[in-house]
A = this chain, B = another copy of it.
Amino acid sequence: MQIAIVLFDRFTALDAVGPYETLGRLPDSETVFVAEQAGPVRTDTGNLALVADRTFAEVTRPDIVVVPGGPGQTAQMDNGVLLDWLRAADATTTWTTSVCTGSLLLAAAGLLEGRRATSHWLAYDVLGRFGAEATGERVVTDGKYVTAAGVSSGIDMGLTLLGTIAGADHAMAVQLLTEYDPQPPYDAGSPEKAPARIVEAMRAKSRFTFA
């Protein structure tokens, strides 16, 4: 089984690395990082690059596609090369997935119309514009489409899908291997839980229009 994780300029690293570190440990699978051009792809902070080992043209029939998000997603919303690849790959995938605003790219490719999906909490309304029904759940499965909320939720999505495909024991083994026993020092990981002043400040300074 081939898992293709998409990279593009100014993606968010953890969006991609969460599913890579969990779902990527699926038995008898190969994970490939894929982008329009092969080579280093810079993240949103500019301080890190991950290497795309393959071009889109080289990966034509992945079984699972993972699309991360990040500030660079906006510039990809009318990238025909990426959207065409997503549509073509999706025609034969068993699972098409996203983390964070990666779901907006699936939506822009026309793949989420009429489906329940999620995204980063700042971007729910954009999903609706593409005919998807945004939900506040952390991981949303609708048919073969699995979308996850912001950034770190790709870890939960990866483990969830790993369990579905390979069974609970394998997913628990990967959870134990990666010691995923979260103990955040604060309880501010969603707009419902964070102090209102922090939520409002983030809404106010969000310059991303997403679409």
Contact = CB atoms under 8 A, between A and B. Distances in A.
Interface of A is mostly: mixed
Contact of A199 (B40, B138, B176): B176
Interface in A145-175: 149-153, 155-156, 159-160, 163, 168-169, 171-173, 175
A50 to B, nearest CB: 6
Interface in A171-190: 171-173, 175-186, 188-190
A138 B184 CA distance: 10
Contacts of A159: 184-186
Contact of A12 (B21, B53, B120): B21
A14 interface: yes
B169 A179 contact: no
A51 interface: yes
A121 interface: yes
Nearest to A12: B21
Contact of A177 (B13, B151, B181): B151
A8 interface: no
